[in-house]
Structure 1
């Protein structure tokens, strides 16, 4: 993740700035405070939560580089993994010892064994390696959030299943390892977003037939890839997240064009005899409504046979 350069107060004071000047620059928007005695210069818009957390983690690394390494959700942020559903109000660090963990001052300090291969340098900061990061999140976060992290790590090829299996085996007997095993069993790198991960898990809980992820449908002269597919029921499921439309947007393209193209794409899928069910992020919290639409699509396809 690209983040603005962190500037510490002590560096600015050593360069001749005064606290009065720093407060003035902060007031007029030339500096943004990202932690006690730490700033970024000319930030423009406030960084999104993940970028702000990365900055806070970097500030903490500057001050406590000898006190463990960044880990858990803080390492996930720096590796670019999904952090949906996880708190970003504390910086997480892990020390290579079995006791001595604590929470306070905006920091969650964990105590757990760390092998040399489980620590890597990322943008000049020491963090837990991707596989260890996924397992730590899987041990401690809510199930859906942990699966989203694992899915994104697999999707971005930061980890593979063998590496994750070795990482969780090394943690045998630690708190949360049974859930970590469950998370890894559920993880699937074909999910492109946390929304698709949540959709897949909601379908499983609802007892729907397992969909084909990123189903490729052969159209007239081109192939369509859809988020979820049930070939036997001639039904397509599409999660409409804002991030998805961002991926589809070409340089200089009007977002409205993407919406129109998606509508034409859906019309072509329907012309192939497929039922198309769409849902949004807000509907993930009341997925029973989506399940009803999917089941109606299944029934309508069956009637046409």
Structure 2
């Protein structure tokens, strides 16, 4: 999507009144002050933010490197639960940070290996980006982002460990360390990452992720999101995406649902207790945690309350 700047329009002969009229008529749509596009803004928040980053870069000092959540968006890492109301950038200095209505400028040292270029824009490296965010957002959001970055192969555990070591004396580094030590690239979705944090907060045993369930004869029955093999139980996050055409473009949704039901029947026939939950359960995991305790054979009286 082409961004047109006010100065370019003025230089092309447009009067300020004409620009205002085009904005009122919808011929131009404001991305940020002084920057416009000739079409509707993208509906997806990450796509809109990426456009805003592109529009903001010419107004930032040349030394500024796009960072934090803005860098995550540029790297196409899902940013569940993290505000996209400001463009974030880091200047390689020890002071001078400022937070405005549209731009949040951070001040921190930047090593050459911590800077990369995406679509012609200088951004912090994937590992530096994940660590910077994990230092400044709640545990759950940090885990979701780190899981997605690991799962996609954008970063590796060694990269994050090195970036954590470099940030050891920066504000928020203990929180980042807790979140990134918990992160696991085997989580395949935002919902699974949130489920892991809820399971841990409830004090439940650590599950096996993506457990391949087999009969005693070795026949593969299916893969469970969460497994407790020694307790004979599995847990499944039932996000609608499992049945959508995004994952199954050439298969009817009803066929996918039927196959999923057969898989669950096979797990139950093998003597496993199956507990399912959906998106709304993640906002208050208390009842789901109790169902999991019963499936795991854990007393529910005096159970720890999920945070």
How high is the TM-score relative to the length of structure 1?
0.87
Of stretches 251-260 and 232-241 in structure 1, the one that deviates more from structure 2 is 251-260
- Confirm whether residue 125 of structure 1 aligns to residue 101 of structure 2: no
- Confirm whether residue 37 of structure 1 aligns to residue 34 of structure 2: yes
Matching of residues 108-187 of structure 1 within 5 Å: 108-187=104-183
2:305 corresponds to which residue?
none
Of stretches 15-24 and 95-104 in structure 1, the one that deviates more from structure 2 is 15-24
Matching of residues 279-290 of structure 1 within 5 Å: 279-290=277-288
- Confirm whether residue 200 of structure 1 aligns to residue 196 of structure 2: yes
2:237 corresponds to which residue?
239
Show structure 2 runs of 5+ residues with no match. Answer: 299-307
How many residues of Structure 1 are paired with residues of Structure 2 in the alignment?
A: 296
Q: State how far apart, in whole Å, the 2-side matches of 1:29 and 1:255 are.
A: 38
Matching of residues 8-47 of structure 1 within 5 Å: 8-15=5-12, 26=23, 31-43=28-40, 46-47=42-43
1:125 CA drift (Å):
1.0
167 and 258 in structure 1: CA distance in 2 versus 1, 3 angstrom threshold: same
1:26 CA drift (Å):
5.0
Show structure 1 runs of 5+ residues with no match. Answer: 301-305
270 and 27 in structure 1: CA distance in 2 versus 1, 3 angstrom threshold: farther
Residue aligned with 1:110, SS: strand
1:268 CA drift (Å):
2.6
1:210 CA drift (Å):
0.8
1:20 CA drift (Å):
5.8
Q: State how far apart, in whole Å, the 1-side matches of 2:30 and 2:205 are.
A: 50
Contact map agreement 2:275 2:291 (CA 8 A) in 1: yes
2:263 corresponds to which residue?
265
Contact map agreement 2:45 2:84 (CA 8 A) in 1: yes
Q: State how far apart, in whole Å, the 2-side matches of 1:288 and 1:245 are.
A: 26
Task: Show CA shifts across 1:261-301 (max 9, x none).
Answer: 3223222322222222111111111101111111222349x
Contact map agreement 1:249 1:258 (CA 8 A) in 2: no
Query: More helix by proportion, 1 or 2?
Result: 1
Q: State how far apart, in whole Å, the 2-side matches of 1:256 and 1:203 are.
A: 30
